[in-house]
Amino acid sequence: MNPFTYAFIGALIFTLALRWMLSVRHLRHVARHRDAVPEAFAGTISLAAHQKAADYTTAKTRLGLFQALADTVLVAVLTLGGGLDALQWLSANLAGGELSRGILLIALVAGVSMLVSLPFGLYTTFGIERRFGFNRMTFRLWLADAIKGLLLGALIGLPLAGVILFLMQASGSLWWLYAWLVWSGFSLLMLVLYPTFIAPLFNRFTPLAQGALRARIEALLARTGFASNGIFVMDGSRRSSHGNAYFTGMGRAKRIVFFDTLLKELDDEEIEAVLAHELGHFRRRHITQRMIFSFALTLGFLYLLGQLLDQAWFYAGLGVSQPGTAVALVLFTLVMPVFTFVFTPLSSLLSRRHEYEADAFAATEARADALVSALVKLYRDNASTLTPDPMHSAFYDSHPPAALRIGHLKGLNA
């Protein structure tokens, strides 16, 4: 057997075992703390709300165990199980030229992946989310969203894949650099186009009405030097009762967006504090840092793929008998997460550090205790667990655990 095959099988099993171990630890930790509200929240979150969050977290984590298994089986079947060979044969019989066969292969793999993930998405929306009172989406709306997403993926993703494949086939040994430039340009273009043209296909965005809240927000924007293309309210309540706020876009296309559910739950001062936190990411250049990191990582991955493209052991070790540019791209996309999963905590650590910095910024531009009260309401209303397993949280969570984050904010307010 090809030595790379052994390495791949080992990494696949190790990644699945690690995912399961982390999830089982999380389930046990949440269950052990289900019957007592943490002291820091004893006066603000009821035992019933705390137990709901524990049960909601448990339901999602248990589903995640099966999804991890399904993901692993899918990768194994597509590679060592001969799935990619079969899909290559099918695409060769349905399309003529090498480029069109490659695009079709990518579409077929994406379709198979979507079918595998479909039951989990349906159960999450109409099982877990509905059971805990969060889902407001009808099946008709879900289907409409799915069709729109599929069409957008085909209209945007497949031409992009075609350009990348063309560069791989026609631009010589530096194809990876040209592909990276195309990918980076596409990513920047999407930042501009998404808030104006794509997001409105799924949600309704209306300008925030004039009044005390808008005046407070505009004063905050003026203080922080944030120029936006508008302040909007999104009809998130059509799909879910979860609340959120964010800004999106870049340059003159930047928009501030509040979920309508958030505006119903928080008072004006709390909304200002939440927005101040989001603006903290902008003022501390977190978005720029993440973009640079993402672009650098993509460049490194494309360079690595460039070195693997003509290596017979790469294909043979992963169960593929017919090398090619499209199958190399698909293989790389499938396999890299298996080998890089162990580095997930590094990304999570950086993200949590940014969250602390954004909280510190918010405490200078709004009241820290207003952000505390807003976060407590969001933890309660979104059924976010207050007692995550420390190892699970360190591995996955992009935000600090509730108790640590609240403690940090209270320290800033002292």
- Contact between 232 and 258 under an 8 Å Cβ cutoff? The reply is yes
Q: Which of the four pLDDT bands, split at 50, 70 and 90, describes residue 227?
A: confident
Q: Is the pLDDT of residue 119 over 80?
A: yes
**Token pair listed for 333:** 């996309």
Binding site for Zn(2+): which residues? 277, 281, 355
Four-residue CA torsion sign, 165, 336, 390, 280? negative
* pLDDT value, residue 97: 87
Q: Would you please indicate which residues are annotated as catalytic (active-site) residues?
A: 278, 359
Binding site: which residues? 277, 281, 355
User: What pLDDT digit, counting tens, does each position of 266-314 carry?
Assistant: 999 999 999 999 999 989 999 999 999 999 999 999 999 999 999 999 9
* pLDDT value, residue 31: 97
Cα distances (Å, whole numbers) of residue 34 to 30, 299, 407: 6, 45, 21
Q: Is the pLDDT of residue 94 over 60?
A: yes
- Contact between 55 and 61 under an 8 Å Cβ cutoff? The reply is no
On the 0-12 / 13-18 / 19+ scale of CB atoms within 10 A, 356 is: middle
